[in-house]
Amino acid sequence: LKLISVIRTTEPPPKAAMAGRLSRREIEELKAIFERGNLTAAAAELQKKLESLENTPLDIAITGESGTGKSSFINAILGLHDDHEGAAKTGVTQTTMEPKAYPHPRLPNVKLWDLPGIGTPSFQADKYLNQVKFNNYDFFIIVSATRFTSHHTNLAREIHKMGKRFYYVRSKVDHDLNAEKRKKNFNEARTLQEIKEDCIKNLRKAGEASPRVFLLSSWELANYDFQLLQETLQNELDDQKRHVFILAVPNISAKILEKKKTELQEHIWEVALLSCAIGALPVPGLSLICDVAILVIHMKCYCEAFGLDDESLSRLAQQVGKPVAELKSAIKKSPLASAITKEFVLTVLSRSACGALMMVELILDFVPGLGSLAGGGISFVTTRYLLQRFLHEAAEDAQKVLTKALEPKAEESI
Ligand SMILES: Nc1nc2c(ncn2[C@@H]2O[C@H](COP(=O)(O)OP(=O)(O)OP(=O)(O)O)[C@@H](O)[C@H]2O)c(=O)[nH]1
Ligand SMILES: [Mg+2]
């Protein structure tokens, strides 16, 4: 700790990062690890846990009758424009004849499966689930754009029998609302409520005790029930699947960005402990010790989760019909994923040395095991401090990009 007095020259740490002291849970978990006394074994376990989190497969089946908007829904979830390379084909004629996987553009282990339209001559409800290999999927989303039909009833019943879960999406509600608007006593909330109640009533008749129905428009994903669908899925998935699901959801609202931030924050202390356990090295020219490679990997991952990378920004620009440079102009603090290199991290380290060292002073006393690790303890605190600060700034920039993307275009606001 003599090292701490060496550097007191750079900018003071921001309030948000100073507030990021160890939580009670972190302290407890760290103490437990040190009490068990084998940090190397604990690190190996953490490494396995973090790797398996990242590699957890999530396979979501999108099913329903032909033409209901399944492919359009997939593209909306993946953040792809219908014309984008890699997007599901959409159209007015039947286009999907066998299950086809659409991997998430950033998370290849997350796949949406576009299933053939049920009820067409080649796909009848009773054989359908076997034909599409139902066991390959974590859950089903039944998409329907019209009144409830016997195909929905049969499909719901069959999915239930197979012990799988389904969510019922009533799609194209923008279209329904437009048609209803012509009526004299039009009331949007009442129309939506009526559509939902009708679906719930019919699913109950089909034997579903607590039907989960969501009204959506793939063209306006941020409206109607998408947020509710996202929250329901999140609550019903196990921890591993929830992690990849949250990271896969498109960045369409401030609330979703906030959720991603919280989810990533949860795992920072584990990454930091890994950094100290794998024998981090002193950073040249600074009194800091940490594993620069770990910082590079995780900072890049945060940027990508928030859509702060060239590909995601171009996709967003295409979706909202704005120049990508306009969206980029909203980014103030965070670099894009491609700019995060070892050199970049070293620059951040030198800028943040003062703040990181103050956190070392604050934290080492709390967890006795950490203090006794000398260099390892400093590495833990530095990594944790830098990742928290970086995450905070990337999340802030992502919110600014979202606001810019949703602003009316110049000609629209005149
Ligand atoms: N108004 C409106 N139209 C939509 C929406 N989603 C899809 N559509 C349109 O509905 C038509 C069918 O959409 P698809 O996504 O191709 O439907 P699908 O269920 O994949 O069709 P199949 O592959 O043939 O079973 C297309 O013309 C879409 O543009 C929506 O949310 N609102
Ligand atoms: Mg399709």
Ligand 2 centroid distance, CA of 81 (Å): 14
Q: Which residues line ligand 1 (CB under 6 A)?
A: 66-72, 90-92, 94-96, 117, 171-172, 174-175, 217-219
Domains present along the chain, CATH in parentheses:
2-37+256-408 (no CATH), 56-250 (3.40.50.300)
Confidence of residue 154 (pLDDT cuts 50, 70, 90): confident
pLDDT at 101: 93
pLDDT at residue 243 tops 60: yes
pLDDT at 324: 95
Q: Residue 401's closest CA among 317, 318, 340, 338?
A: 317
Q: Which ligand is nearest to the CA of 179?
A: 1
Q: What percent of the chain has pLDDT over 90?
A: 37
Query: Any idea which of 32-41, 78-87, 302-311 has the lowest mean pLDDT?
Result: 32-41
Query: Any idea which of 87-91, 248-252, 362-366 has the lowest mean pLDDT?
Result: 362-366
pLDDT at residue 3 tops 60: no
Average pLDDT over residues 33-54: 80
Query: How far is it, in rounded angstroms, from Cα 354 to Cα 10?
Result: 6
Ligand 2 centroid distance, CA of 137 (Å): 18
Minimal-distance CA residue to ligand 1 atom 25: 66
Minimal-distance CA residue to ligand 1 atom 16: 90
Ligand 2 centroid distance, CA of 218 (Å): 13
Q: Which ligand is nearest to the CA of 141?
A: 1
Query: How far is it, in rounded angstroms, from Cα 98 to Cα 390?
Result: 43
CB 383 within 8 A of CB 272: yes
Query: How far is it, in rounded angstroms, from Cα 303 to Cα 323?
Result: 20
| Ordered DSSP codes for 226-251 | HHHHHHHHHHHS-HHHHHHHHHHS--
pLDDT at 16: 41
pLDDT at 54: 82
Residue 378 tokens, joined: 């400093």
pLDDT at 93: 61
Residues within 5 A (CB) of ion ligand 2: 70-71, 95-96
Q: If residue 296 lies in a helix (H) or strand (E), which one and from where to where?
A: helix 292-305
Ligand 2 centroid distance, CA of 205 (Å): 28
Residues in the chain: 414
Ligand 1 centroid distance, CA of 141 (Å): 15
Q: Which ligand 1 atom sits closest to the C-alpha of 220? A: 31
| Pairing label, strands 139-144, 166-170 | parallel
* 177, burial (CB in 10 Å: exposed 0-12, middle 13-18, buried 19+): middle
Ligand 2 centroid distance, CA of 145 (Å): 13
pLDDT at residue 89 tops 90: no
In angstroms, the first-to-last Cα distance of the chain is: 61
pLDDT at residue 280 tops 90: no
CB 167 within 8 A of CB 140: yes
Q: Position 118: which residue type?
A: I
Q: Position 318: which residue type?
A: Q
pLDDT at 57: 95
Residue 193 tokens, joined: 């409520």
Q: Which ligand 1 atom sits closest to the C-alpha of 171? A: 31
Q: Which ligand 1 atom sits closest to the C-alpha of 64? A: 19
pLDDT at 32: 77
Average pLDDT over residues 103-119: 88
| Pairing label, strands 110-114, 100-103 | antiparallel
CB 367 within 8 A of CB 34: yes
pLDDT at 153: 81
Confidence of residue 372 (pLDDT cuts 50, 70, 90): low
Average pLDDT over residues 193-213: 89
| 93-99 long-range Cβ contacts below 8 angstroms, 24+ apart | 94/66, 94/67, 94/120, 95/71, 96/66, 96/70, 96/71, 97/122, 99/61, 99/132, 99/133
Reported as a single tens digit per residue, the pLDDT across 205-217 is 878 888 899 999 9
Minimal-distance CA residue to ligand 1 atom 15: 69
Mean pLDDT of the residues in the chain: 82
